[in-house]
Chain A
Amino acid sequence: MDNIAGSKSSLRWALHLSVAFLVVLWLIPTVGLLVSSFRTTDQISTGGWWRALMTAEHNLTLRSAGPDAQTQVEGIYVIEGNLSKNDKALDIRVWGVSSRAIYAFEPGETAKLRKGGTIVVSADGSYRMENTQPFTGSRGVRVFVSSALPPEFTLDNYHKVLFDPKNVEGMGQAFLTTMIVTIPATIIPILIAAFAAYALAWMQFPGRALLVAFIVGLLVVPLQLALIPLLKLHLNIGIGKGFIGVWLAHTAFGMPLAIYLLRNYMVGLPKDIIENARIDGATDFQIFMKLIVPLSFPALASFAIFQFLWTWNDLLVAKVFLIDSSGQTVVMTAKLVEMLGTRGGNWEILATSAFVSIVVPLVVFFSLQKYLVRGLLAGSVK
């Protein structure tokens, strides 16, 4: 097809470039978050993630040692030391002693102090103050430095979010809760739906077409309609809010798509095999277990992926049917929303937590994409 199109090479280049542009555009937001999750707090606040590989500059307000540290050397009063608060060496580009002129001096230059005396600051942060009179007052002088921050990547954020026992976010706990919600809510609907799909595909009974239409209708019923009546129901029959409620809800909300997908797939299975098995005396139950289930594996897999992604990523169902005031059963999505509100500025924690919740679906997505695509193609109502 390409050959007869006689496409010009310049056109091919434009094609490659535009696809590359599209891909970059689609990836950039996620990459930004991923990079941010490996940066330190200082790094994040001093420059965008796209500068993560470059040396950044940040402005610090530091203070020299107080007058009590002064010594007298050959008639001059001297205070010496290093401005760095932790033992990390600074890499000072410019500095100043007044908040109105913070870029006034290069390292090694001498500045006059307002209260008398001079100060020399060198690039590594060490300074020397001299005065002919004794330094007075209770505190040291303020020095404004603009220091270079070399690129730095760290796993500390992940450690903090997942394993730190003092960590109030409890993302580790939320991870576990999400797992507990997701796994039963993925397996049980498959089982129930497979039997129903088999009946709808291969058994003869009156009202079958109507039932299929009923399921197609339920496919698009918005979740919002189910919330109030079901919450009322759960509270009335004593399930209340908890895992059982959320499992049941997820099972039900996945059911129309499951039956629809599996039925469409099973209808397409070769008729001969099933008829032969019937003639050989197999019961429907045997046909289902020994023939249909193994043959339908691709469809079962694609629905499993759908349901897994949907339950893992869900916020609404968990909020309505699971999360109570005890705060012990918060899923990751809910935790993230909470953090967006309370720690909106703490991007290192936010980015890391978000990535912890995203990484499992991404692994599933990239490893089982084939089944996901197949399921999508079969599942969109034609």
Chain B
Amino acid sequence: MHPALQGLMTIVGGVSVCLSYYFISNWLLDNVFCPAKGKYVSRNINRATVIRPWLFLAPAMSVLCVYLAYPVIETFRLSFMERQGAEFVWAGLDNYKQMVSEEKFWEALKNNILWLVIVPAASTVMGLMAAQLTDRISWGNIAKSLIFMPMAISFVGASVIWKLVYDTRPIDQEQIGLLNALYLFFGGDAPQTWVTIPFWNNLFLMVVLVWIQTGFAMVILSAAIRSIPEETIEAAILDGANPWQVFFKIKVPQIKGTILVVWTTVTITVLKVFDIVYAMTNGQWNTQILANYMFDKLFRANDWGVGSASAMVIMLLVTPILVWNVYNARQEQQ
């Protein structure tokens, strides 16, 4: 069967199965199991009210449990197991021991911490700057939309885009990479292969993610800036505050909460991103990060135990944010 046809059938089939599940299960509840008539009307109505939410929730919850909650526990379990053929046998802390003995792991962890410090900070600061600058000009919305655009581009697409910027040709040829052309124009002596220069290449890879995430930060922060009550700003101006003071002493403190939200959201993205490193260097030249290290273990080394162990390290890094989010959500509900 042609895959396009299969896809079409899945859409139609999947959607109608889903819809008929909700329709039939509700119908059965109302008409067969707990009909709102006859001898036990009130008991039936009460029972239906108790059961119905779970009919609505069941598909979503089962998908969430099987595909997200169970894997967290299973990965934790697998990180203590070793695969031998098709069997998994208990290995204690061996996977973790092997992991910490690998130089690549420490390199990945170090780089990841670097990513976690620089990318959220740079994205948030650039986003805040862009939001503030575009806030008060007539073509601000067009400018915003253009800065926001990389958000729609895949990490892989962005990697190709930036690979062209970083491209290197031998010195006797014309440079086609913008960065090298600029470098030579401003007096550099020889074209550099940017993605292979240790330490700095990490920054060149981070630029790609900052380029993508700044738009996100800008959109959120710009909405926050707009929602600042104008009286506070007017009052500050009447008191003789200059634009810098208005921005740093009046605006920024009022949107502190939103800045924190943006920061944590970008942080989570950083921990999940593997495409950029995978596409641009695949962890060579000291650019390994945990997400790519894990993928490497999983598919190239085929070592599911160490793969799971490194996934747990990523989970560990996310946990503080997870706890904080859940705590905030609980507060909000009360």
In angstroms, Cα B167 to Cα A45, docked, is 11
Q: Are B7 and A184 in contact (CB under 8 A)?
A: yes
Q: Are B64 and A228 in contact (CB under 8 A)?
A: no
Q: Are B153 and A196 in contact (CB under 8 A)?
A: no
Interface size on B, residues (CB 8 A): 123
Q: Are A195 and B60 in contact (CB under 8 A)?
A: yes
CB distance from B41 to the nearest CB of A (A): 14
Residue of B nearest to A364 (CB): B152
CB distance from A311 to the nearest CB of B (A): 10
CB distance from A271 to the nearest CB of B (A): 17
In A183-219, the 8 Å CB interface with B consists of 183-184, 187-188, 191-193, 195-196, 198-200, 203-205, 208-209, 211-219
A205: which B residues are within 8 A, CB to CB? 50, 53-54
B216: which A residues are within 8 A, CB to CB? 376
In B304-327, the 8 Å CB interface with A consists of 304, 307-308, 311-312, 314-315, 318, 321-322, 325-326
Q: Does A140 contact B (CB under 8 A)?
A: no
Binary per-residue interface labels of chain A (81-99) against chain B in the complex, 1 for a CB within 8 Å, 0 otherwise: 0000000000000000000
Q: Are B311 and A227 in contact (CB under 8 A)?
A: yes
B10: which A residues are within 8 A, CB to CB? 184, 243-244, 247
Given known contacts A4-B237, A180-B6, A243-B3, is B157 in contact with A223 (CB within 8 Å)? no
Q: Are A36 and B164 in contact (CB under 8 A)?
A: yes
Total cross-chain contacts (CB, 8 A): 344
CB distance from A187 to the nearest CB of B (A): 6
In angstroms, Cα B272 to Cα A376, docked, is 18
B220: which A residues are within 8 A, CB to CB? 376-377, 380
In angstroms, Cα B52 to Cα A247, docked, is 27
CB distance from A305 to the nearest CB of B (A): 9
A358: which B residues are within 8 A, CB to CB? 152-154, 157
Interface size on A, residues (CB 8 A): 119
Binary per-residue interface labels of chain B (227-270) against chain A in the complex, 1 for a CB within 8 Å, 0 otherwise: 00010011001100001001000000000011001101100100
Q: Are A192 and B308 in contact (CB under 8 A)?
A: no
Q: Does A221 contact B (CB under 8 A)?
A: yes
Q: Does A55 contact B (CB under 8 A)?
A: no
Binary per-residue interface labels of chain B (66-82) against chain A in the complex, 1 for a CB within 8 Å, 0 otherwise: 11111110110010000
CB contact between A223 and one of B7, B145, B149, B272 (< 8 Å): that residue: B272
Q: Are A32 and B307 in contact (CB under 8 A)?
A: no
B176: which A residues are within 8 A, CB to CB? 44-45, 47-49, 347
CB distance from B209 to the nearest CB of A (A): 13
Q: Are A222 and B329 in contact (CB under 8 A)?
A: no
In angstroms, Cα B151 to Cα A351, docked, is 19
Residue of A nearest to B152 (CB): A365
Q: Does B4 contact A (CB under 8 A)?
A: yes
In angstroms, Cα B157 to Cα A216, docked, is 30
In angstroms, Cα B140 to Cα A16, docked, is 9
Identify whether the interface residues of A are mostly helix, strand, loop, or mixed.
helix
In angstroms, Cα B152 to Cα A203, docked, is 36
A200: which B residues are within 8 A, CB to CB? 57
Given known contacts A316-B275, A354-B161, is B56 in contact with A333 (CB within 8 Å)? no
Q: Are B67 and A26 in contact (CB under 8 A)?
A: no
Identify whether the interface residues of B are mostly helix, strand, loop, or mixed.
helix
A213: which B residues are within 8 A, CB to CB? 326, 329-330
Q: Does A75 contact B (CB under 8 A)?
A: no
Binary per-residue interface labels of chain B (139-166) against chain A in the complex, 1 for a CB within 8 Å, 0 otherwise: 1100101111111111111011111110
Q: Does B333 contact A (CB under 8 A)?
A: yes
Q: Does B188 contact A (CB under 8 A)?
A: no
Q: Are B64 and A19 in contact (CB under 8 A)?
A: no
In angstroms, Cα B165 to Cα A28, docked, is 9
In angstroms, Cα B72 to Cα A283, docked, is 37
In angstroms, Cα B166 to Cα A48, docked, is 12
In B278-328, the 8 Å CB interface with A consists of 278-280, 291, 294-295, 298-299, 304, 307-308, 311-312, 314-315, 318, 321-322, 325-326, 328
Given known contacts A217-B322, A351-B160, is B7 in contact with A243 (CB within 8 Å)? yes
In angstroms, Cα B165 to Cα A198, docked, is 47
B23: which A residues are within 8 A, CB to CB? 285
Interface segment among B102-110, B116-124, B128-136, B197-205: the answer is: B128-136
Given known contacts A2-B136, A366-B145, is B30 in contact with A313 (CB within 8 Å)? no
Interface segment among A126-134, A157-165, A250-258, A295-303: the answer is: A250-258
Q: Are A340 and B163 in contact (CB under 8 A)?
A: yes
Q: Are B160 and A224 in contact (CB under 8 A)?
A: no
In B30-65, the 8 Å CB interface with A consists of 30, 49-50, 52-54, 56-57, 59-61, 63-64
Q: Does B89 contact A (CB under 8 A)?
A: no
Q: Are A180 and B67 in contact (CB under 8 A)?
A: no
Residue of A nearest to B273 (CB): A316
A168: which B residues are within 8 A, CB to CB? none
Q: Does A177 contact B (CB under 8 A)?
A: yes
Q: Does A350 contact B (CB under 8 A)?
A: yes
Given known contacts A15-B137, A22-B130, is B64 in contact with A188 (CB within 8 Å)? no
Q: Are B30 and A222 in contact (CB under 8 A)?
A: no
Binary per-residue interface labels of chain A (330-368) against chain B in the complex, 1 for a CB within 8 Å, 0 otherwise: 000100110010000001001100100110011011100
Given known contacts A221-B315, A252-B66, is B146 in contact with A192 (CB within 8 Å)? no
CB distance from B251 to the nearest CB of A (A): 12
Q: Are B136 and A313 in contact (CB under 8 A)?
A: no
Given known contacts A216-B325, A358-B154, is B67 in contact with A230 (CB within 8 Å)? yes
Binary per-residue interface labels of chain A (314-334) against chain B in the complex, 1 for a CB within 8 Å, 0 otherwise: 111001100000000100010
Q: Does A53 contact B (CB under 8 A)?
A: no
In angstroms, Cα B230 to Cα A5, docked, is 12
CB distance from B82 to the nearest CB of A (A): 13
Q: Are A216 and B71 in contact (CB under 8 A)?
A: no
Interface hub of B30, B143, B156 (most chain A Cβ within 10 A) = B156
CB contact between A224 and one of B154, B294, B322 (< 8 Å): that residue: B294
A314: which B residues are within 8 A, CB to CB? 154
Q: Does B171 contact A (CB under 8 A)?
A: no
In angstroms, Cα B151 to Cα A226, docked, is 24
Q: Are A15 and B136 in contact (CB under 8 A)?
A: yes
> Can you give 21 contacting A-B residue pairs, CB < 8 Å?
A5-B246, A7-B243, A22-B147, A26-B214, A27-B146, A28-B178, A32-B165, A33-B160, A50-B181, A212-B333, A218-B64, A225-B315, A227-B71, A247-B10, A253-B68, A284-B56, A315-B154, A333-B275, A354-B157, A357-B157, A381-B328
In the A-B complex, the 9 residue pairs with the smallest Cβ-Cβ separation, listed nearest first, are A252-B67, A313-B154, A196-B60, A365-B152, A180-B7, A229-B74, A199-B56, A354-B160, A229-B71
